[in-house]
Chain A
Amino acid sequence: MTNTTTATYDNIQIGDELPALQLPPVNRTTLALFAGASGDHNPIHIDTDFARKAGMPDVFAQGMLGMAWLGRLLTQWAPQSQLRRFDVRFQGITHIGHAVRCTGRVLEKLEHNGERCVRVEVLSANQYGQARIAGEALVALR
């Protein structure tokens, strides 16, 4: 499947992969901007002194930043108006310098509340292949 093809229920097969989303390495500017935009002002993500006092080596990414990137993976594949559910588990901390890659794969085609949907597995991992966030989404397809 390619970016230029609109995902439809009939042209999607179980096992199809979503076009991946590669993010640049996380830096402090990204964390500061996300703190402001998301309303998450926890200093552990933006103040190195606070992070070190809390026993962390440095500031690290907000979990919801990683989930927002997975949201971009989904909405670049199918319009947000077709997104029905989006569930994630945060599995590992995303540190400064981690370059996160978001991937997804169709697990199942099913009917949900009278709509034809696909269940999609989503995953974000850093450049060392370590999983950071794993989850699933339910997307309605025409």
Chain B
Amino acid sequence: MIDKKWIGHELPASVLPIERTRLQFFAKAIGETDPVYTDAAAARDAGYPDLPAPPTFLFAAELDSGASGRMLDDLQIPLSKLLHGEQSFSYHKAACVGDTVTVRSTISDIYEKKNGALEFVVKTSRATNQRDELVAELRTVIVCRH
């Protein structure tokens, strides 16, 4: 059983610099062929100051920082039992190469289904840039299967 005392827990802030080679690697990994995501000139032609982070990229912030792994340790959820249940993004401002995005998350709910065979953890996050502008809001539901 995941201890419900963690509801309301704030994860340490995760700082993710948006870097060109990382975005190019991400584009390759997902098979992205639109030059907007790999070629700075194409991105500028599309109205961005530089390559934009694609829609799901900011999920990397708490993986890179280790905040996500630390949360799983705190909640005692082993990687072998972890599934991703739901993921949402609300977008407010583009994050582009040269920006530094900070993600701050709170564990907003913990609940179970099927008499505890499945446990759910809901994490809500705000991503802001170096000017403290809201870039995106995220909502993640992770599942621990027993």
Q: Which residues of A contact B (CB under 8 A)?
A: 23-24, 30, 33-34, 36-44, 50, 53-55, 62-65, 67-69, 71-72, 74-76, 79-81, 83-90
Contact = CB atoms under 8 A, between A and B. Distances in A.
Interface of B: 22, 25-26, 28-32, 34, 36, 46-48, 52, 54-56, 59-60, 63-64, 79-91, 94, 139
Given A33-B29, A53-B80, A64-B59, A85 B90 contact: yes
24 contacts: A33-B28, A34-B29, A34-B30, A37-B25, A50-B80, A54-B80, A55-B80, A64-B56, A64-B59, A65-B29, A69-B31, A71-B55, A72-B30, A79-B46, A80-B36, A80-B55, A84-B90, A84-B91, A86-B55, A87-B89, A87-B139, A88-B87, A89-B85, A90-B83
Contacts of B80: 44, 50, 53-55
Contact of A63 (B29, B87, B88, B94): B87
Q: Tell me the interface secondary structure of chain B in the complex.
A: mixed
Contacts of B29: 30, 33-34, 36-38, 65
B88 A86 contact: yes
Nearest to A38: B60
Contacts of B94: 80-81
B63 A39 contact: yes
- Name the residue among A50, A63, A84 with the largest chain B CB count within 10 angstroms: A63
Contacts of B25: 33, 36-37
B22 A87 contact: no
Given A85-B89, A87-B87, A54 B52 contact: no
Contacts of B91: 83-86
B136 to A, nearest CB: 10
B121 to A, nearest CB: 14
Given A34-B29, A80-B52, A41 B63 contact: yes
A43 B78 CA distance: 11
Contact of A44 (B32, B79, B90): B79
Given A74-B55, A75-B54, A68 B86 contact: no
Contacts of B36: 79-80
Nearest to A53: B80
